[in-house]
Amino acid sequence: MKVRPMRNSEVLERLSEPDNFENVTEEEILFLWQSFRSNGLSADEAWHAIVTGIALDMAFARSKNLPHIEQ
């Protein structure tokens, strides 16, 4: 089965929808990395921005499931 690469607009539309960061594809990560690079970040800075975003998303997603305690 041949997989058709997504157009840049398709990637942006998909990422702008809520809850679509839960199943990010390798292609989307590479697109974001290239986008960051084209806007002036170094390769390392672009990679760190992506990793930081994923880590924050995971941390806040986990905190949504914790019980709220009112004082």
- Contact between 6 and 27 (Cβ < 8 Å): yes
Does pTM surpass 0.85? no
Q: Look over the chain and give the mean of its residue pLDDT values, rounded to a whole number.
A: 76
Q: What is the mean pLDDT of residues 54-63?
A: 78
Contacts of 32 (CB under 8 A, 6+ apart): 15, 46, 50
- Contact between 50 and 33 (Cβ < 8 Å): yes
pLDDT band of residue 38 (cuts 50, 70, 90) is: very high
pLDDT band of residue 57 (cuts 50, 70, 90) is: confident
Q: How many domains does the chain have?
A: 1
pLDDT tens digits, one per residue of 14-35: 655 555 556 778 998 999 999 9
Q: Domain of 47?
A: 26-60
Judge whether 41 lies within some domain: yes
- From the list 23, 31, 21, the residue with the least C-alpha distance to 52 is 21
